[in-house]
Structure formats: structure tokens, C-alpha cells
Amino acid sequence: MADVEIDCLTVQFGSFTAVKDVSLQIRQGEFFSFLGPSGCGKTTILRTISGFQDPTNGAVRIGGQDMSGIGPNQRPTALIFQNLALFPLMTVFENIGYGLRVRGVPKANRDRKVDELLHLTALSDQGHKKIEELSGGQKQRVAIARALAVEPKVLLLDEPLSALDLKLRQYMRNELRAIQRRVGVTFIYITHDQGEALTMSDRIAVMNRGKIEQVGNGRDVYEYPQTSFVASFVGENNGFSGTITKISGDQAEIETSVGRLVGLNKKSLVVGAKAILFIRPEAMQCGAQGENNLSGIAADAAYEGMTTHLTMKVHDGSSIIATLTGAPALEFPPQGSSVSFAFATRDALILPV
Amino acid sequence: MLSSAGHPFIFILPFIAIVIFWVMAKFEPKPVGVTQKSFFERNGVPVAIYLIVAVTFWSLFMIVLPQLFMVEMSFRPKLPQIEIGGPKDLYTFENYHYFIYGSTTISDAINWVHIKAFFLTIFASLLIAIFNLALCYPLAFYMAQVAPAARVRFFLLLLIAPYWVNEILRAFALRIMLSSNGLINKILIGSGVVDQPVDFIGNDIALYAGLGYAYMLLMIFSLYNTIETLDHAQIEAARDLGAPWWHIHTFIVIPFIKPGVASGCTLVFMLSAGSLAAPLVLSGPRSLWFTPIVYDRFNQAFNWPQGAAYALILLIACVTFVLFVLRLGRLSLGEIAK
Amino acid sequence: MNSKTVTNVMLAFYMAIFFGFLFGPLIVMGVSAFNTSTYPQVYPIEGFTLLWFEKLLNDRDMVYGLKNSLWIGMWVVVLSVPLGLAGAMMMSQIYSKARSFYYVIVVSPVLTPGVIIGISTVVFWGDLTTTTNSRFLYHGLFMTVLGQSSFISAYCMLMFMSRLNKFDRAQEEAGLDLGASQTQVFFHILLPFLRPAIFSSAVLAFLSSFENYNTTTFAILADKTLTTVLAGRVRQGTTPAISALAVLIIAVTVVGAIIYEIVKRREDRERQARLDAAHAAELRELESIEKATHHA
Ligand SMILES: Nc1ncnc2c1ncn2[C@@H]1O[C@H](COP(=O)(O)OP(=O)(O)OP(=O)(O)O)[C@@H](O)[C@H]1O
Ligand SMILES: [Mg+2]
């Protein structure tokens, strides 16, 4: 059952279109992420769902009910702001209880609920504190507890972890996911960090310039990108653009500046079409000969223990990256000497420009 | 001539203006696709009502209408109570006529006393503003750019402290100092500089000193606030390039703090020109200042229309000055009133 | 002497003159309040006395004027703070082409000479109350409150504007999102945020009202406030009793300033303590994450 339905949504600011004709169905209890570069319209979609922004066109339905004309304070959503927007003059306890207070919930019930949430978010002994006294992670939890207190059908999170430092961010990912499983509320999560999106989400919508490029689970998006934007935005990728010269079965040959390469033609491109061939660095082999071969000058090797990232410069000046695991990584030729990379046709994807 | 029974019209004037604005707002071309919430939705009904009532009351009943009524009154003749609104109550220029000729009807002699007082007030206020600027600039610069933070705090305290004392008492304090048997004269006589007490009050020195003294703080703060926003690195850079100190001040600091200078000068000018306390306390029998003359129209001549006309003349002079300063410095009003 | 010492000497000389000009008269006045001489003077000291203070307290007019001043000050605060707040809130919402016009209107009282505000207030209410037959409103205290508030509200508005500039709109949206109405957001979130500005504009409003003379002397009609009584006394002649009043006012303000400083310091300390607590919590958090990842 669809919990949140977005139907042909368009949002314009003056002559600028921030969100273009977006349609989506988000399921009950799902952890759904919007992933996209800065300025692509993620926040705008979220604000439209929560009621702070009126759509120029299209509709948002929550639990089957059309939300147009319903103010943010009447919707069954709760928003966690990019900067959290906790109330600095209230204590943790008052912050969490605020939504219940304005709903007129009697004090005893309210206190019980707040205590429950403090427990859920591991803040049990922090209730009396002022917001200023908390650590970054604690503030994060207060924001979540405050939003959950009003028992929303949908929790909307706008890059809530972006202000934290790396370690804490990774830790909070797990914690967020755990909380979501426990409460079972639909989470709609915004991020421009693909690691975050891939690790936490049930499904991801990749956005670019106000449009949705692809919706799918992490694996779909990573392994079967449907557009060249998704292929290059999600994960590292080597891209070679050129023109299709030959089609044979589900494969196609593409003429690029580094020579003719062959890859899978899942998008049924025809001869003469402009296209890009993508190959993941980890699908690349160093030194060996294979179905597709590239040669150039060894530029750089970044050793990271488990893996090593090799960079090769080709004659047109661009760089190609290969990520190698284990022993072969150690045999990378010295800087400036010539090397060759190879990859298999079934690992390469040809997508329209 | 027009009958001055035109009150209701004046009263309605601002409301007409509001309606015009409202209509204009209604027909303002809105950017495509942007839906704006109404004023009531945005603030909630109770707060919206509070805002409208408060702002209307303030701007109409406390600012605009009183000024309009004053303007209107300045064009009315002085009449005994019973004749007001009667056949003799016609709009007239006689109050302005009086300012120039010293009589409501005859144009033989020029009213030199009032005209001189007016121009002297304007001119002296201008000089006081400039003098204050010169006096306060070094300290403001020192506090904003040179002194360590703790000392600045201390200085600010020192500067504000005297201004908790009311204007009249400050003028009174100067009067004690400068009177013929005051401290200054005692020092001057004691040290043999003069053998007769100097009449500071009679020759208006006390008055000008008092006016300068009264509004120094505003100048200091106007300057300090803007100089503080000047990046110290700019001055350092100029110094590194070998610019002499006067060059740094004239070509780097002064152009940058133009709004502060403008606002300081405007405030000091306005307050001096409109000051009543200092002239009352510090002027001698022959001193000329315009505000006490306005005051006397009301409290001694009991001629309100004339007083209103005089007040309006003062107001026009002040507004002209502000506009002039704004034009001169290419500034907006918002930069001055801070 | 090198140029640095020259500069320093010049600076010291300038400072001495500046602060001499600023404080000299006040010190002279202060000392004269305790001198037995009937003319307020510091030299020669004829003897120490508190007689002038006694005179002051027995001065009926002064005490009466003081009561009026306090009463007026209170009402000015009650009127100006809400008006200033409304003015500031309106500023950000008014239809954009009207905004500069509106700004000129509400800021103009700051730049209008006080006498003119006093005169226009009296003229307006005189006319209005005559034509509407509500002569009871033609009352000195009432008009003084209105006249003073017309520009004091503008002071308050400027203070509120600078505070509102710092307001994070997300706070308001967070309130709405949690189900609060606009009115609740106003009372629960915006007003508490504005509390420091409310407090300081109230203090400013009271002090401006208390020491105002130019507007008051017209608007008060035949009634009296402390400043108008004072002006009358000063014009009649100089007596050390006036110096004594100044000393009292200075004493009260000094006490007020000290209390303010103490309160402020305590707040700073508390705030610092909270930030320290946050820092400690931050460290503990990192430590526990470290431990958790080790176990895993
Ligand atoms: N109120 C507004 N008026 C005009 N333009 C706006 C408004 N809000 C957003 N925009 C524009 O719409 C575009 C999308 O903004 P949005 O905030 O949705 O991006 P985002 O994907 O959330 O980016 P980020 O990752 O930086 O938060 C941006 O180019 C922004 O400048
Ligand atoms: Mg955003």
C-alpha cells in the first residue's frame, strides 16, 4: 500500500523550475531516500510533502488523502530540519513534549510519552538539560524523538547527519536505521551522500535538476544504472563517451577517444547514437589482456590496505581509475612507466548521453 | 480663500493613501507559480489583528495625523475660542508672514530677530555637528581599530555613563562650570590669564559647548559602529604600502564610514537645531536660538497657529538637511537611522 | 623622543581633554551638592552638608513631578514595546513597494525634533477631542505618553528589527510542523526568542521617557514631570539642590548598571558552563562510539 504518493509534482520559483513532473509511490514503513547533488530540488520535494511549499502543479497524497490546502500543522508528517531547529530556550524534555503540548495532551500522558521516547533514543538522563548542553549526537536524537512524539505517519529527514563529523555520522546511520525498524514509521530521507543512501535505504530515488533519474534499491541503482547521470553520480565510475559504431546482440561497440570499446547495450541504442560507456574501477584489471584493453602512463597509486586505487593517464589527458584487491595491487609499475588496463564486456554498460 | 473647516478631509487623507496602497498590492504582478500565504494565514488571526491595529494606530494617530494637523493649523488665523470654525476662520499665510515681517499684515519691516535666530540656529547646528565629528573621530577610530577589547568595553561604559544623567542636568552642570563665578573663571583668574570673569554665557560659548556636549555620544556611536566594520587588514595593507597616516584616513577610512559620518552629523544637527533644554539653561539674555522662540509662541504669546507655523519652518529646515546629506553621500535613510 | 612616544603623548592629551569635557562638569556638579555654599561650587569648599538633599526631598513639586515621570515612563513602556514589535514584524511582511514608504514614516519620529512632536501631538489631540467632543482625552499625561511613544516606539522597533534578523525561520517552521498554530508559534517560540530585546527596549523606553524634555514640555500642558519642574528651577536660578538631584540620579544609575553587570556576568558563566558540558558530552560520545566499534 502506498503511504505517500507524489503525483506529477512540479514546483516553480518564478521562472525557475526546482522540481519537474515528479511521480513516486512510497510504501508504508519504507526507508526511502532522495539522493542527488546540491540544488537538485530534494529539499523542495520534502517541503512540499510537509506542507511548507505549495506545488505549482500536481498533488501529494498521504495515506490516500489529498494534502492540498492542508497546512503543515495539520499533516501527519514530521520534519527533521537540516539544522535540526531544536528550541534552544526549552529543555530536552520540553522540546520532545512540544508537539503533544500544542495538541492539548494532558500533562501526565505527555510525560509518559516523552519518557518513553527518551528511553528509545538513549537520552533517559538528559531530559532536564538545555539544548546547548548536548553533544551533536544527542541533539540529533532529541530531534528524532521530538518528531516521533507526535506519532507521524511519515518522518521526513533533511540531511540530518550532514553537520556531524565522520565517525559519528557513520554511527548514527546504524542508529537511525535501528530506530526506524523499531518504530516502523515511513522515513523519507534526503542526502547528497551516496554512502548514506546505499547503506540505510530500502529504496532510493536519484535526482538531478529537479527530475527523478531512477528509483530502485541500492543494488539496482549501483549495478544497473539507467542513465549516465546515475552511473556517474552513484559510486566511482570510469566513463568514455563516443558514438556507437556496431551492434551485435545485446552488445554494442563504441568509438571513443581511447579507441573502440565494447559493452552491454541494455538501452537498445542504435548505430550512430551518442553514448557513454561506463566501467567500474573494481571491474578493471591491471597488466592483463582482456576483451577491452586500454594503455597509458602509470600516474598514481593510493594504497588503502585492503584495496589500492591505481590511476592511469591516457594520451588524451584523462585519467582512468582501477581499484584492485590483494596482491596485484602491489605490482603497480612506477610512476611514468607505461601500463595497461583491461575489462570484460559484460561489466561495461553503454548508456545514452 | 478656503474655509478651514476642512478637518474631516485631512483625517480621511491617510486612509485614502492606505486604500491606494492596498489596491496596488492586490494588483502587483506575482511571480508565476509562487503561491503566497495571506497575511492572516502567515501570522495567525490574533497576531495579524494585533499587527494591523498597532501599526495603524502608531503610524496614523501618533505620526502622520499629528503632523498633518500641525501643518493645517499653521495656515489658520489666531482667533478667540468662540470664533474658531466661524466665518473668520479662513486659511491664511499670516503666520508665515509674521515670521518674515514681524506682523501678520504689514510688510514694511523685516522680522530680523526671528530670521536671524533661524539662520543662526541652522548655521550653528551645522558647525556643532562638524566640530563634534572632529572631536569624536579620533576616539571612535581608536576604540574601533586600535584599543584592545577590554579597554573598549571600559570606554563604552565611560562614554555612556554621563548620558544617564538627564539633558537639563547636564546643561546645568556646564552652567555651574562656566558661570561668572564658576570653576573655569576661578581658574582663569587665579592663574592670572584674565582679571575679569569671562562671560561665557552672555557670549554664547556656554550654549554651543552645551549643545556639543549634549549629543557627543550619538556621534561617537555612529562613527564607532561603522569604523568597527572596517576590516583592519585594509589599514594594515595600506600601511605596508607606505601610505602616511593622513592618507589612510582620508582615502580609506573616511570613504568607508560615510554612512556613519552622515548619520552622526544628521543626528547631532537635528538634535541641536531642535534642542530646547540647552538653550533654556545655557543662553544669556541676548542669545538667539530658534526653538525657544517657537516655545514662546505657545507659552507666552499663546498663539498656537503661529507656533505651528514656526515648528513647521524648523521641520522643513531639518528635512531639507537630511535630504541634502542623503544626496551628498548617496545614502538611503535606512543607513542613517540605525 | 621617537614618533611612537609622541603619538602616545598626543593620544593621552586628547583623551584627557575629551574625558575632561565629558566628566568635568558632572564632577563639579556632584561635589557642589555636598558643599554648604548656597551657590553650587566646588571651590572653595565651605563645608560638608547633606542639607541640599533634604531640601530636595521636601520639594513638593519635585516629588510630584517624579511621580508623574514614573507613571508616564511606565505607560510609555507598555505602549512602545508592543508598538515597536508590531512595527518591526510588519517591516518584513509589508508589500515590497510600500516598504520604503512605510520605513520613512515609522522612522521619521527619530529624526524629527522633539519639540515638533510635542507640538503636533497637542495640536492633533486638541483638534480631535474638540471636534469629537471627547475633551477628557485632552489630558497632559495622556498626550505626553502618546507623544513620547511616537519616537520611542521607533527606537524599540529598530532594536526588534536587529533581533528579528537573527531569528531562524526554521524554528517557526519546526513549531508549525509539530502541530502548533501560528498564534502558538508566536507565543511559544518567537516571543521567548525576543525576550532579551523586549527587556532592553523596555529599559531604553523607560529611560528615554524619564529624561525627555522637549516633547514633554509641550505635551504635558499645565501638568508637571520631573524634567519640567527641573527646567523651571534651573531657569529661576542655580541652587545646589539641583546638584543633589543629579547625584541621586547618578547613584541610582550606577547601582542599576552594577546590577546589570552582575546579572550579565552570571548569565555568561552559566552559558559557558553549558558549552563546557556540551564539549564534555561530545568527548564521551566519541569514546563510546570508539568502544562500540571495537567490540563489533
Ligand atoms: N524559496 C525559494 N525561492 C527561489 N528559489 C528557491 C527557493 N527555494 C529553493 N530554491 C531553488 O531551488 C533549487 C532547489 O533547491 P533545494 O533546496 O530543493 O535543493 P537541495 O536539493 O535541497 O539542495 P541542497 O543539497 O543544497 O540542500 C535551488 O536552485 C534553489 O536555489
Ligand atoms: Mg536541501
A259-317 pLDDT, tens per residue? 899 999 988 889 999 999 999 999 988 888 889 999 899 888 888 878 888 899 988 88
Average pLDDT over residues C187-216: 93
DSSP SS3 for A206 = strand
CA distances from C6 to B56, B149, B175, C2, C11 (A): 59, 24, 35, 7, 8
CB of A331 closer than 8 Å to CB of A287: yes
Instruction: Please state the three-class secondary structure of B270-281 as a single string.
Output: HHHHCCCHHHHH
- The answer to whether C121 touches C150, Cβ cutoff 8 Å, is yes
Domain A252-352 fold: OB fold (Dihydrolipoamide Acetyltransferase, E2P) (2.40.50)
Any idea how long chain B is? 338
Amino acid identity, residue B202?
G
**Mutating which of B28, B30, B34 best tests the A interface, going by the most A Cβ atoms within 10 A?**
B34
**For residue B337, what pLDDT is reported?**
60
The conformation of residue A291, written as its DSSP 8-state character, comes to S
Q: Are strands A307-313 and A292-303 parallel, antiparallel or unpaired?
A: antiparallel
Record: contact C178-A138, CB cut-off 8 A: no
Alpha-carbon torsion (B44, B46, B50, B56), positive or negative:
positive
- Give the residue-averaged pLDDT of B289-297: 85
- Cβ within 8 Å, pair A146-C292: no
DSSP state of A325: E
Q: How many angstroms separate the CA of residue B86 from the nearest CA in chain C?
A: 14
Query: Strand locations in chain B, DSSP E?
Result: none
Helix (H) or strand (E) holding A105: none
Whose grid coordinates read 500565504?
A: B37
User: What is the C-alpha R_g of chain B?
Assistant: 26
Predicted structure pTM score:
0.87
Distance from CA of C165 to the nearest CA of A (A): 16
- pLDDT category of residue C80 using cuts at 50, 70 and 90: very high
What is the percent of chain B with per-residue pLDDT over 70, rounded to a whole number? 92
pLDDT of residue B335: 65
Average per-residue pLDDT in chain B? 82
Element (H, E) at B47: helix B45-56
Helix H or strand E encompassing A38: none
Looking at domain C61-240, its CATH superfamily turns out to be MetI-like (1.10.3720.10)
Helices (H), B179-276: 183-190, 205-229, 232-240, 245-248, 254-256, 258-273
Among residues C107, C84, C139, C151, the alpha carbon closest in space to that of B62 is found at C151
Give the DSSP letter string of A317-336: S-EEEEEEESGGGGGPPPTT
Can you give the pLDDT at residue A201? 94
Is residue C88 within 8 A of residue C102, CB to CB? The reply is: no
Q: Residue C160: what are its φ and ψ, rounded to 5°? A: -65, -35
Closest chain C CA to residue A82? C170
Query: pLDDT tens digits, residue range C95-135?
Result: 777 788 888 888 889 888 888 999 999 989 988 888 878 88
Beta carbons of B69 and C234 less than 8 Å apart: no
Which residue of A17, A54, A74 to mutate against B (max B Cβ within 10 Å)? Answer: A54
Residue type, C119: I
Name the residue with cell 539662520.
B119
The Cα angle at residue A33 between residues A29 and A35, in degrees rounded to 5? 175
The SS3 assignment for A303 reads: strand
Contact of B276 with B289, CB cutoff 8 Å: no
Atom 25 of ligand 1, nearest CA residue: A38
Does C251 have pLDDT greater than 50?
yes
Q: Provide, as residue numbers in chain A, all residues whose Cβ is less than 8 Å from the Cβ of C168.
A: 83, 85
Helical H segments across chain A, by residue range: 42-50, 92-102, 107-120, 136-149, 166-183, 194-200, 218-223, 228-233
**What's the average model confidence in pLDDT over A82-102?**
94
Q: Which of B157, B176, B308 comes nearest C123 by C-beta? A: B308
Choose one of A9, A11, A12, A16 to mutate for the ligand 1 pocket test, by most ligand atoms within 8 angstroms of C-beta.
A16
Count residue pairs from A and C with Cβ separation < 8 A.
89
Angle CA C182–C188–C193, to nearest 5: 110
Rounded CA separation A153/A62 (Å): 8
| Mutation choice for C interface testing from B76, B142, B172 by most C CBs within 10 A | B172
* Residue B55 CA from chain centroid, whole number: 23
Boundaries of every domain in chain A: 2-228, 252-352
Question: Both ends of chain A: CA-CA distance in Å?
Answer: 35
Q: Which residues in A have their CB inside 8 Å of a CB on B? A: 11-15, 54, 56, 71
Ligand 1 atom closest to the Cα of residue A210 is: 14
Residue numbers in C near B314 (CB within 8 A): 113, 115-116
CATH of B112-336, one of 1.10.3720.10, 1.10.1140.10, 3.30.930.10, 2.70.160.11: 1.10.3720.10
* A4, A61 Cβ separation under 8 angstroms: yes
The chains found to touch A (3+ Cβ pairs under 8 angstroms) are: B, C
Which residue of C91, C104, C116, C268 to mutate against B (max B Cβ within 10 Å)?
Answer: C116
The structural domains of chain B, with segments of one domain joined by +, span 4-74, 75-110, 112-336
The DSSP letter of residue A133 is G
Alpha-carbon gap, residue A1 to B303, rounded angstroms: 84
Map residue A8 onto helix, strand or coil. Answer: strand
Cα-based angle B192, B198, B202 (whole degrees, multiple of 5)? 180
What is d(CA B51, CA B103) in angstroms, rounded to the nearest whole number? Answer: 48
- Does residue B286 sit in helix, strand or coil? coil
Q: What is the pLDDT of residue C41?
A: 73
Confidence of residue B215 (pLDDT cuts 50, 70, 90): confident
Q: How far apart are CA B126 and CA B203, in angstroms?
A: 19
- The CA C181 to ligand 1 mean position distance, Å, reads 26
C167: part of which helix (H) or strand (E)?
none
Q: Is the CB of A37 under 6 A from ligand 1?
A: no
What spacing in Å lies between the alpha carbon of A214 and ligand 1's midpoint? Answer: 20
B2: confidence class by pLDDT, cuts 50, 70, 90: very low
Q: Is the pLDDT confidence value at B3 over 60?
A: no
CA nearest to C86, candidates C221, C198, C239: C198
CA-based nearest residue in chain A for residue B32: A14
Q: Which residues are registered as beta bridge partners of A188?
A: A32, A156
Q: Which residue has the higher pLDDT, B303 or C78?
A: C78
Would you call C66 helix, strand, or coil by DSSP?
helix
Judge contact between B124 and B132, C-beta under 8 A: no
Question: pLDDT band at residue B31, thresholds of 50, 70 and 90?
Answer: low
Q: Where are the alpha helices (DSSP H) in C178-212?
A: 182-185, 191-211
**Is A42 a pocket residue for ligand 1 (Cβ < 6 Å)?**
yes
Place of cell 541652522: B122
How far apart CA A81 and CA A47 sit, in angstroms, is: 10
C155 or B256, which is more confident: C155
- pLDDT averaged over chain C? 88
- Read off the amino acid at residue A88: P
The residues facing A238 across adjacent strands are A279
Q: What is the pLDDT of residue B225?
A: 87
Please give the distance, rounded to the nearest whole angstrom, from the Cα atom of residue C109 to the centre of ligand 2.
Answer: 43
CATH number attached to the domain at A2-228: 3.40.50.300
Task: With CB atoms and an 8 Å threshold, state whether B280 touches C87.
Answer: no
Phi, psi of B188 (to 5 degrees): -60, -45
Q: The C-alpha cell of A283 is what?
A: 571491474
Put simply, the answer to whether C274 touches A132 (Cβ < 8 Å) is yes
Instruction: Pick the closest to residue A310 from A288, A293, A290, A328 (CA basis).
Output: A328
Task: Report the pLDDT averaged over residues A29-55.
Answer: 93
Beta-carbon separation of A52 and C171 below 8 A: no
pLDDT per position as a tens digit, A203-217: 999 999 999 999 999
In this predicted structure, the answer to whether residue B5 has a pLDDT above a threshold of 60 is no
User: In this complex, do C189 and A87 lie within 8 Å of one another by their Cβ atoms?
Assistant: yes
Pocket test for ligand 1, best of A22, A43, A46 (most atoms within 8 A of CB): A43
Q: Model confidence over A26-35: pLDDT tens digits? A: 999 999 999 9
- According to the model, what pLDDT value does residue B283 have? 81
DSSP helix/strand/coil, C261: helix
Question: In whole angstroms, how far apart are CA C277 and each of A118, A126, A139, C68?
Answer: 19, 12, 13, 49
Pocket test for ligand 1, best of A10, A12, A13 (most atoms within 8 A of CB): A13
Q: How far is CA C23 from CA A92, B148, B239, C16, C18, in A?
A: 50, 23, 35, 10, 9
| Average of per-residue pLDDT across C44-55 | 79
**Residue A161 scores a pLDDT above 60:** yes
Q: Which three cell numbers stand for residue C104?
A: 520613512
Stretch C175-189: mean pLDDT, rounded? 94
More reliable by pLDDT, C185 or B217? C185
Reply yes or no on whether the pLDDT at B6 is more than 60.
no
Q: Residue B172 has what pLDDT?
A: 86
Asked if the Cβ–Cβ distance from C289 to A52 is below 8 Å, we say no
Nearest CA to ligand 1 atom 22: A43
Query: At B169, is the pLDDT very low, low, confident or very high (cuts 50, 70, 90)?
Result: confident
Q: Please tell me the distance from the alpha carbon of residue A84 to that of residue A106, in angstroms, as a whole number.
A: 26
- Going by C-alpha positions, the residue among B172, A249, B283 that lies closest to residue C30 is B172
Cell triple for residue B244? Answer: 602616511
C-alpha cell at B212: 556639543
CA distances from A336 to A96, A327, B249 (A): 60, 21, 57
Q: Cα of A39 to ligand 2 centre, how many Å?
A: 7
What span, in angstroms and rounded, lies between the C-alpha atoms of A126 and C45? 65
Interchain CB contacts (distance < 8 Å): A and B = 17
